[in-house]
Amino acid sequence: MRCPECRHPHTKVTATRLQDEGTVVRRRRRCLHCGYRFSTLENCCVADLVVLKRDGSRETFEPQKILSALKKTFKKDVRSDESIRQLHQRIVQTIRGQEKRPLTSQMIGDIVLEELRRIDPMAYIRFASVYKNFQTPHDFASAAQAISEES
């Protein structure tokens, strides 16, 4: 980090502290050349994920959409908000952890479905029928098949 005053390339960090619940680091710095004091903020830069949709268009990945879909899926369920939130967090982490780019809406759907299938076969069916947008009875039948093979 160059000194903003004299452009000298070496500054000394004189203090470091966390703020915003530890998601931001503030460093006090002093220029070794002219003594100018300034601060830098360091925070995590989460790049927007781009999702390639089935129709070929692209959109920004919005974790919120998955959350509302999950809430709809569990609407008539006893599952608590907290467990839905945790499930959502796990799904979003898995999606962000994907190395394949671009992400496709199908990959995302499959990740969600995989999580649901593990915890709740009925929710899996409900979610699948909406999210995966089953086009034919055959699609639905094969999903049901996949479940019964696992149980």
Q: Which residues bind to Zn ion, rule: CB under 5 A?
A: 3, 5-6, 8, 31, 33-34, 36
CB of 123 to Zn ion, least distance (A): 60
DSSP three-state, residue 43: strand
Task: Please give the Cα distance from 3 to 37 (Å, whole number).
Answer: 9
Compare residues 4 and 102 and give the one whose CB is closer to Zn ion.
4
CB of 14 to Zn ion, least distance (A): 14
Task: Please give the Cα distance from 18 to 27 (Å, whole number).
Answer: 9
Compare residues 31 and 103 and give the one whose CB is closer to Zn ion.
31
CB of 17 to Zn ion, least distance (A): 22
Phi-psi category of residue 133: left, alpha or beta, with phi > 0 → left and psi -120 to 50 → alpha:
left
Compare residues 8 and 26 and give the one whose CB is closer to Zn ion.
8
Amino acid at 20: D
